[in-house]
Amino acid sequence: MRMKPIRVLIAKPGLDGHDRGALIIAQALRDHGMEVIYTGLRQSAVQIARAAIQEDVDVVGLSSLSGAHKSLFPKVVQALEEQGASDIPVVGGGVIPAEDIPFLEEKGVNKIFTSGSPTDAIALYIKQLLNKETIEAPKRIAHIGIAVESIDAALPFYQHNLHLELEAVEVVESEQVRVAFLKIGETMFELLEPLSDDSPIQSFLTKKGEGVHHIALEVDDLTKRLEQYKEQGVRLIHEQPKQGAHDSQIAFLHPKAANGVLFELCQHGEEE
Amino acid sequence: MNTSSSDQHPKQKWEKDVEKTTERFPERKKAFHTSSEIPVERLYTPEQMDEDYIEEIGFPGQYPYTRGIQPTMYRSRYWTMRQYAGFGSAEETNERFRYLLKQGQTGLSVAFDLPTQIGYDSDDPMADGEVGKVGVAIDSLKDMEQLFDQIPLDKVSTSMTINAPASILLAMYIAVGEKQGVAPEKLTGTIQNDILKEYIARGTYIYPPKPSMRLITDIFGYCQEHLPKFNTISISGYHIREAGSTAVQEVAFTIANGMAYVDAAIEAGLEVDQFAPRLAFFFNAHNQFFEEAAKFRAARRMWAKIMKEHYGAENPKSWKLRFHTQTGGSTLTAQQPDNNIVRVTLQALAAVMGGTQSLHTNSRDEALALPTEDSARIALRTQQIIANESGVADTIDPLAGSYYVESLTDQIEKEANAYLDRIKEFGGAVQAVEEGYMQREIHKAAYDAQKRIESNEDIVVGMNEYKLEEEIHADLLRVDEALEQAQIKKTQDVRSSRDQESVNHCLKNLREAAKGKENVMPHIVAAVKVYATVGEIANVLREEFGEYTGM
């Protein structure tokens, strides 16, 4: 955990005089316990870089509403680099068309927040950025779970018609379920058969019948990720990792968090 | 109290005024009626009008102008439809202007780029990346000549959003007029020239407040003599509101600034009835329909009372608050931009209900970029539909007498007056600005509004509720990045082909005038005519006046 408060420089590069947004962000970040320095209007890239170094800030936030962001934001990144401060990340916001964002990110701006971004999300991003906890996208689809009445009855289609290879069959006591894994490319199908009426799979079958049950995503930071999702208000079924099939740690997100899709996060082997 | 100079009843006086007005500006139709053939009267009033009613609400075209400043309002002429435009080079903007005039727009409104607004030439290092971005780049008279090419300045009125260097751009406008053979006294239009709101909200200041106020009173003095039909200032609440103020703060701070200009002009030795008739105002229109309409009515009544009772102005033209309205840019969302057309319609309707003299309707894509030609046309069509199809312009001040609207009008006036009292305690608007009072009040209101949106206490459709997966908007107006280099080359060519000795001479004279008390305007006019640039002229004044560095 960081002990010192995060220090932020909010800067207005160029000649643009609209600072309502910059002032609101500054205030919101202060409310999140950060120390914020606002440069005032009409700062050159070099002035901003100098202020960032003198004030010993952890991050620089740029605001532009005049359309000059493509020229000005990269210049600030460059000025920081030239003054030996390329470790200070730069984020930006303002009136910025979506198709300019890849260009700005390529030029070294860490993230662009466009009009309508909640201030809480900006504060959270900065916190995560500085704690080096930025969540990466999940690596791949680990498996697609399919609920069946009976694995033995379902297997022939997968084995003899699709010609998939049966990898393993095992029992997960905690979920009262028997599972069969069939490999397909980099991912797998997981057939799920309930072992008792208490099994969640049984209640799924009763409500919806056989069919796709969940999609499992491979991650390598399960505990941390669950904490961050919780902080971001993502609804979770499991707030802590639990033992899953195949020697894995798993947790389910609530389907309400993802437009009705049940996602499982799973991590194989040791956590990093 | 009888407010007219004669002993006539106000109603009879109004009827006479209507007769006189309709001789010059006949009504649009012989008779107005609804779809069901119900006749639409010019004006609806209560059966009984007591003294209080006459004093506070009265008749259109009569003090205190609560119901509007003309006796027939939109029955004779619609408001001026004036779309703010300008981007890139003078040639491109000239093309857009001529397109808009052809589409039925009735006045021009020039947007300048930021370097021009802050008195830098396009080749100044400070202008890097900003040339032609938010408006047209003007460096020398050459650019201004191209901007108004084939647009006869005696036929259009032009509004210029220019503040700190207003004197320079006005001088260029005079010079272009002369080249077209139009004498200065025939020029009509408006310069924004409102520096106080730049310190408060908009940020394109150059000089400290005192010399800035002097530049403004120099313009007042010069125009009184040479450009009697030109509005010398547009005292602007628009940007105060965009910075996050409430409707009450918008009225209060704008009127406080207006009083500061009147005070400065009187102190500079001008006669109130000489300059006050050329003061114009510029307000915002946001979404809360009734409050906005009431705001305009309250502002009119407040200004009339202040001019008559506080400053003792005797010319009724000095009492009338004439204003331009622009719909609220900060109310537009980047999400689902077509929804903005609906917001703009509501806001424009509120401005018309409030009796605006001219109107700019924003384009749907302004939260994303400068408007495309299509978007700009829809925005203009919005006004044309309100004017021609809705029937709201067929009777004067149709919201008058609504318990709600009259009560809001009174309440806004009362709360704005409370702010004026507080500003008076600071010693006036200039002092209040220097101490950051208005800035703090606005920031507080802006932050509270943001919190209400983030907690979903306030719903913004498409942004925090009723959301869609967002598509990418490829169809945005882009300013060509090569323009900056072309503009720099053009200005350098002007510099190498002009008579440099004359330029030096004019700039020297300007410097002498700036040092003393002489009016600087004639010297600026002389300098632009020999192609001295905006940056060169502004820099002479920077050296003499110093620069404002912010709070």
Whichever domain contains B291, its CATH number is 3.20.20.240
Average of pLDDT values for B283-298?
A: 98
From the list B203, B368, B470, the residue facing A41 with the nearest CB is B203
pLDDT, residue B107, reads 84
From the list B117, B120, B128, the residue facing A71 with the nearest CB is B128
Judge: B129–A68 Cβ closer than 8 Å, yes or no.
Answer: yes
One domain, residues A46 and A112: yes
Judge: B130–A66 Cβ closer than 8 Å, yes or no.
Answer: yes
- Which residues of chain A make contact with B446, given a CB cutoff of 8 A? 20, 23-24
Judge: A115–B333 Cβ closer than 8 Å, yes or no.
Answer: yes
With cut-offs at 50, 70 and 90, classify the pLDDT of residue B473.
low
Q: Hey, which of A109-118, A124-133, B120-129 has the most confident mean pLDDT?
A: B120-129
A:B CB pairs within 8 Å: 97
A40 touches chain B (CB under 8 A): yes
A89 touches chain B (CB under 8 A): no
pLDDT in tens, B26-49: 999 999 999 999 999 999 999 999
From the list B114, B125, B368, the residue facing A66 with the nearest CB is B114
Shortest Cα distance from B462 to chain A (angstroms)? 10
User: Where does a domain end: A106, A130, A154?
Assistant: A130
A71 touches chain B (CB under 8 A): yes
Instruction: Show the domain range for B354.
Output: 159-454
Lowest mean pLDDT among A228-242, B350-364, B443-457: A228-242
In A, minimum Cα distance to B113 occurs at A66
A18 touches chain B (CB under 8 A): yes
pLDDT, residue B2, reads 44
pLDDT, residue B341, reads 97
Cβ atoms of residues B60 and B73 within 8 Å: yes
Judge: B550–A20 Cβ closer than 8 Å, yes or no.
Answer: no
Residues of B with CB under 8 A from a CB of A: 114-115, 117-118, 120, 125-130, 133-134, 198, 202-204, 242-244, 330, 333-335, 367-370, 443, 446-447, 450, 454, 463, 470, 472-474, 476, 479, 481, 549-551
- Which residues of chain B make contact with A44, given a CB cutoff of 8 A? 125-126
Question: Cβ–Cβ contacts within 10 Å for residue B419, how many?
Answer: 20
Whole-number Å distance between alpha carbons of B475 and A190:
45
In A, minimum Cα distance to B455 occurs at A118
Whole-number Å distance between alpha carbons of B76 and B17:
13
A99 touches chain B (CB under 8 A): yes
Give the total number of structural domains in chain A: 2
Residue B455 scores a pLDDT above 50: yes
Long-range contacts of the stretch A221-229 (C-beta < 8 A, 24+): A221/A135, A221/A136, A221/A267, A221/A271, A221/A272, A222/A249, A222/A250, A222/A251, A222/A265, A222/A266, A222/A267, A222/A271, A223/A271, A224/A133, A225/A135, A225/A265, A226/A251, A226/A265, A228/A128, A228/A133, A228/A135, A229/A253
From the list A75, A99, A118, the residue facing B472 with the nearest CB is A99
pLDDT in tens, A27-71: 999 999 999 999 989 999 999 999 999 999 999 999 998 888 999
pLDDT, residue A234, reads 86
pLDDT, residue A270, reads 52
pLDDT in tens, B153-177: 999 999 999 999 999 999 999 999 9
3-state secondary structure of B395: coil
User: Where does a domain end: A76, A109, A130?
Assistant: A130
Cβ atoms of residues B534 and B121 within 8 Å: yes
One domain, residues A118 and A148: no
One domain, residues A79 and A121: yes
Whole-number Å distance between alpha carbons of A87 and B128:
26
- Which residues of chain B make contact with A118, given a CB cutoff of 8 A? 454
Average of pLDDT values for B4-9?
A: 62
One domain, residues A12 and A114: yes
One domain, residues A263 and A152: yes
One domain, residues A166 and A126: no
pLDDT, residue A265, reads 92
Strand partners, A112: A92
Average of pLDDT values for B143-147?
A: 97
- Strand order across the B233-236 sheet: B80-81, B358-360, B323-327, B279-285, B233-236
In B, minimum Cα distance to A114 occurs at B334
- Which residues of chain A make contact with B134, given a CB cutoff of 8 A? 16, 66-67
Judge: B114–A14 Cβ closer than 8 Å, yes or no.
Answer: yes
Lowest mean pLDDT among B98-112, B261-275, B373-387: B98-112
Shortest Cα distance from B392 to chain A (angstroms)? 34
One domain, residues A23 and A65: yes
Instruction: Show the domain range for A191.
Output: 140-268
- Which residues of chain A make contact with B203, given a CB cutoff of 8 A? 16-19, 41-42
The token pair that represents B247 in the structure block: 């409707």
Lowest mean pLDDT among A129-143, B322-336, B342-356: A129-143
One domain, residues A88 and A122: yes
Question: Cβ–Cβ contacts within 10 Å for residue B512, how many?
Answer: 13
Global ipTM: 0.82
One domain, residues A145 and A190: yes
Cα-Cα-Cα-Cα torsion A159, A163, A168, A169, nearest 10 degrees, comes to -20
- Which residues of chain A make contact with B470, given a CB cutoff of 8 A? 98
- What share of chain B in percent tops pLDDT 70? 97
From the list A14, A16, A97, the residue facing B476 with the nearest CB is A97
One domain, residues A40 and A64: yes
Residue closest to B423 by CA, chosen among B214, B199, B259: B259
3-state secondary structure of A170: strand
From the list A42, A67, A116, the residue facing B369 with the nearest CB is A67
pLDDT, residue A224, reads 81
The token pair that represents A149 in the structure block: 């009445």
Average of pLDDT values for B97-114?
A: 88
Task: Supply φ then ψ for residue A75, to 5 degrees.
Answer: -65, -35
With cut-offs at 50, 70 and 90, classify the pLDDT of residue B472.
low
Residue B63 lies in a domain: no
CA atoms within a 13 Å half-sphere pointing along the CA-CB vector of B479? 31
Whole-number Å distance between alpha carbons of A264 and A255:
10
A interface mutation test: which of B450, B479, B547, B548 has the most A CBs within 10 A? B450
Shortest Cα distance from A85 to chain B (angstroms)? 23
One domain, residues A15 and A126: yes
Radius of gyration of chain A measured on its C-alpha atoms? 25
CATH of the domain at A85: 3.40.50.280
pLDDT, residue B537, reads 98
With cut-offs at 50, 70 and 90, classify the pLDDT of residue A2.
very low
A271 touches chain B (CB under 8 A): no
Judge: A98–B114 Cβ closer than 8 Å, yes or no.
Answer: no
Cβ atoms of residues B333 and B340 within 8 Å: yes
Instruction: Share the mean pLDDT of chain A.
Output: 89
Instruction: Give chain B's end-to-end CA distance (angstroms, integer).
Output: 47
Please enumerate in sequence order all residues whose Cβ is within 8 A of that of A171, keeping only pairs 6 or more positions apart, or say none: A177, A178, A179, A195
3-state secondary structure of B359: strand
In A, minimum Cα distance to B452 occurs at A118
Shortest Cα distance from B69 to chain A (angstroms)? 33
Lowest mean pLDDT among A133-137, B283-287, B408-412, B417-421: A133-137
With cut-offs at 50, 70 and 90, classify the pLDDT of residue B471.
low
pLDDT, residue B192, reads 97
With cut-offs at 50, 70 and 90, classify the pLDDT of residue A135.
low
The token pair that represents B74 in the structure block: 């939109």
Backbone angle region of B281, left / alpha / beta, with phi > 0 → left and psi within -120 to 50 → alpha: beta
One domain, residues A37 and A107: yes
Alpha carbon separation from A269 to A101, A175, A181, A214 (Å, rounded): 37, 20, 18, 21
A116 touches chain B (CB under 8 A): yes
3-state secondary structure of A65: coil
Question: Cβ–Cβ contacts within 10 Å for residue A271, how many?
Answer: 12
The token pair that represents B29 in the structure block: 């139709």
Shortest Cα distance from B468 to chain A (angstroms)? 13
Residue type, B481: E
Whole-number Å distance between alpha carbons of A234 and A224:
14
Residue closest to A49 by CA, chosen among A6, A82, A24, A7: A82
Lowest mean pLDDT among A73-87, A118-132, B42-56, B461-475: B461-475
From the list B127, B202, B446, the residue facing A17 with the nearest CB is B202
pTM score, whole prediction: 0.80
Residue B125 lies in a domain: no
CA atoms within a 13 Å half-sphere pointing along the CA-CB vector of A228? 17
| DSSP secondary structure code for residue B336 in this structure | S
Alpha carbon separation from B32 to A61, A202, B42, B430 (Å, rounded): 58, 74, 8, 48
CATH of the domain at A262: 3.10.180.10
Give the total number of structural domains in chain B: 1
Instruction: Share the mean pLDDT of chain B.
Output: 94
The token pair that represents B522 in the structure block: 């004639």
